[in-house]
Amino acid sequence: MIRDRRPWCSGAGLRSLLSATLLVLAALSGGCSSHGKQTVVVLGPWTGDEAAAFTQTLDLLDNGTPYTYTYQGTRSLRETLVAQLEAGAPPDVAILNSQGELSEYAHQGVLTPLTGELGSKAYPPWAPELVVNGSRHTYWVPLKVDLKSLVWSKRSQPVTPHTWCLGMSSQATTGWPGTDWIEDILLHRSGWQVYEQWANGELSWTSDAMKDAWRTWAALIEGQDGRSALDTSYEGKGGTGLLDTGTCTQEHEGSFIRYLYGPDTDFEPSADAVPQLRRNQDAYEVSADMAAVFRDSPAALELLNRLSGTKGRTTWMNQAKQKLKPNFPSAADPRPEDRVGKRVATTLTGGTGSVPTRLLCFDASDTMPPTLRDAFQHAVLQFLSAPHRSLADAPLGQLEAERKRLSGADWLPATSVCGSPAG
């Protein structure tokens, strides 16, 4: 998931380090189960109910095979995966939400190229082709996907005058709800071509388009306490979403947030809900959890094929709780039965047999090299902590210096960020 910034000397940091160490030891002890079946380890970001549903899915998928599929979930995914790689004990399969991180691993030679049927499931913009050592391949496939560019509200609450819900904290790195805002504003005010140039490292952070995005966000949240947002979880407290607190009326958040709310909460596309964004209304920002093979073996490739196939996705859908049912990248895949989930799925993929005109653009910060992504998240926190939030409070010069420092190999290929739904 998103990298934890808390210092290792803190309790949280020590817990993250201990978790990573335990998972490394678990990976080192893998290979064969007590039943003589080969153990295939999947490392991923889900905990709690999401982890339970995914574990049940793996348990059902390994029936009748010579394998035992085992899931290891952690909130400190990047640290854990790095520790396992350094110990020479990577998982067979790892699930990440950052294309930038996956691209780094591909160029380091630790990912297995996907061919044949698996290669055909690498739908754009979820899984672009990379050129590594002169050869072009795909290296990961999307397992579950989410729709962004959404504004949520309760039917029982007036939305005018409105107050934005601002929660920047999470169990991993704070700040990403703010980077989502900047990305969405840029996409709709400047268009997908400019968005793609920026995500691919071809547009300066000090460009007029970027300055306009930060100014627009400052105007939207003018008068709100940004400092309190730094310590406020995007999930609210105790499983109660921010819209349930009674302190805000509109929330800019991805489709996954529906698990916090009941049927009285619904969404509008941000290009419809926010007057300043009523341009390029057929474009949406999206994100995904993507799976790659870190330990090359027929067993790992077969598992990835099963997970990304119709049976695997149907099994997963059946195991998940109603408001946690995943969305998938193709219109041919199973869909949630709840009304909100169906709306999300239709926007992501269109109806079967249709040719949607909408464009999906992958979360820009998740396509960037990790060091720039982390700097972007920190810049959002710095901007929110300023008492009056002018453009001078956005450290665009520092972000531009980091962009220039990175080499061309650190970026995803040009024109890989946006694409049509895989309908």
Instruction: Identify whether residues 174 and 185 lie together within a single domain.
Output: yes
Start-to-end Cα distance in the chain: 27
Q: How far is CA 164 from CA 21, 218, 259, in A?
A: 40, 12, 19
Q: Please indicate, yes or no, whether residues 313 and 326 belong to a single structural domain of this protein.
A: yes
**pLDDT score recorded for residue 221:** 95
How far, rounded to the nearest angstrom, does the alpha carbon of residue 368 sit from its chain's CA centroid?
Answer: 12
Tell me if 3 is assigned to some domain.
no
357 is a domain residue: no
- Whether 344 is in a domain gets the answer no
Give the pairing of strands 359-362 and 418-419: antiparallel
Averaged confidence pLDDT in the chain: 89
212 pLDDT above the threshold of 90? yes
Q: Is 4 part of any domain?
A: no
Contact status, residue 210 vs residue 202, Cβ threshold 8 Å: no
In this structure, are 122 and 266 located in the same domain? no
Give the residues across from 161 on adjacent strands. Answer: none
Same domain, 159 and 139: no
Residue 127, pLDDT score = 92
Kindly state whether residues 128 and 203 are assigned to the same domain: no
Domain harbouring 297, CATH code: 3.40.190.10
User: 210 and 398 in contact (C-beta within 8 Å)?
Assistant: no
pLDDT at 2: 33
**Do 139 and 154 reside in the same domain of the chain?**
no
Same structural domain, 208 and 297: no
Which long-range contacts does 294-297 make (Cβ < 8 Å, 24+ apart)? 294/81, 294/85, 294/90, 294/91, 294/92, 294/93, 294/94, 294/105, 294/110, 294/111, 294/112, 295/90, 295/91, 295/92, 295/93, 296/112, 297/40, 297/92
Q: Is 357's pLDDT higher than 90?
A: no
Q: Is residue 342 part of a domain?
A: no
Provide the number of structural domains found in the chain. 2
pLDDT greater than 80 at residue 211: yes
pTM metric for this prediction: 0.90
45 closest CA partner among 84, 2, 8, 16: 2
Q: Which two tokens stand for residue 81?
A: 């995966």
- Compute the C-alpha angle 37/41/43, nearest 5°: 165
What is the structure's pLDDT at 8? 27
Is the separation of the CB atoms in 324 and 259 below 8 Å? yes
Are 123 and 163 contained in the same domain?
no
- Of 316, 334, 352, which closes a domain? 334
Tell me the residue range of the domain where 196 lies.
Answer: 147-285+362-419
**CA–centroid distance for 147 within its chain:** 10
Query: Do the beta carbons of residue 207 and residue 195 sit within 8 Å?
Result: no
Task: Please indicate, yes or no, if residue 32 is contained in any of the structural domains.
Answer: yes
Return the higher-pLDDT residue of 422 and 76: 76
Task: Give me the residues paired with residue 233 across strands.
Answer: 169
Q: What is the pLDDT of residues 17-59, one digit of tens each?
A: 445 454 555 554 455 554 678 999 999 999 999 999 999 999 9
Q: Do 225 and 167 lie in a common domain? A: yes
Q: Are residues 396 and 267 in the same domain?
A: yes
Residue 225 maps to a domain = yes
Do 131 and 269 share a structural domain? no
| 215: its two tokens | 């100014």
Asked whether residue 18 is domain-assigned, the answer is: yes
pLDDT band at residue 409, thresholds of 50, 70 and 90?
Answer: confident
305 and 412 both lie in a single domain: no
Pairing outcome for strands 150-154 and 265-269: antiparallel
For the segment 108-151, what is each residue's pLDDT rounded down to a tens digit?
A: 999 999 999 998 888 889 999 999 999 999 999 999 999 999 99
